[in-house]
Structure formats: structure tokens, C-alpha cells
Amino acid sequence: MGVALMTYGMPSDCVRRNYRLRGNHEKEARAFLSEGFRHVSSTRLSPGDLMLMKVAPDQLHLAVRTGDGFVHAHAGLRRVVETPGMPDVPVIGIYRKRRG
């Protein structure tokens, strides 16, 4: 989450350091995202929007939408990648940076 949020100029210390890869963090993630971002509908998805995805029942993932796909930290490859198309996991929230 930190990499995606720093893309938008948010300080790295705004993401807690003891974040675990697995756990029930959906409520916390949505609350945190709503502080600097506004929720938008999936029909209004645009490049630059953050996509909150549920990759497993107890695991969330955050990606940045691009014109042709999305950028995200790939755990298996241990690097940041751009993947074409839409994620093959449920997108449970789309957030756009607030102006100002």
C-alpha cells in the first residue's frame, strides 16, 4: 500500500509499519483511503485511480489503474509490474485522489 500511496505524494509514515500481508484489514483500508481519496463507481474507472482488490478472503491488494492495465507490487516476482487488462480478482473499491 505504501508504494501506491507515495505515488500520490502521501508521506510514507502515513501507512503503518506493522501491516501484515494477510488479515482482516478491509475496514481499516477503506477508512484510510477515504481520508485522501474519494470513492468512485466502477463505471468511472480512469487511469490514475487506485483499485482495492481482494486477492484472497483475508488478503487485500492495491493497484494503480493505467490506460491499458494496472501497476502493482507483484509478490511472486518481488517487483513492481504493469499488468495488462483488468485484475482477475475482485475489485472491491475504486478511489480517486481528492483535489487540493
pTM above 0.85, yes or no: no
Query: Which among 43, 47, 27 has a CA at the least distance from the CA of 96?
Result: 47
pLDDT in tens, the chain (100 residues): 666 666 677 666 666 656 566 777 788 888 888 888 999 999 999 999 999 999 888 888 889 999 999 998 887 788 889 999 999 999 999 999 988 6
Strand order in the sheet with 79-84: 37-40, 91-97, 50-56, 59-65, 69-74, 79-84
What is the CATH architecture assignment of 2-97?
A: Alpha-Beta Complex (3.90)
Instruction: Name the burial class of residue 17, with classes exposed (0-12), middle (13-18) and buried (19+) by CB atoms within 10 angstroms of its CB.
Output: exposed
Q: Which residue has the cell 477515504?
A: 34
Q: Which sequence spans correspond to the domains of the chain?
A: 2-97
The pLDDT score that the predictor gives to residue 48 is 93
How would you class 37 by CB atoms within 10 Å of its CB: exposed for 0-12, middle for 13-18, buried for 19 or more?
Answer: buried
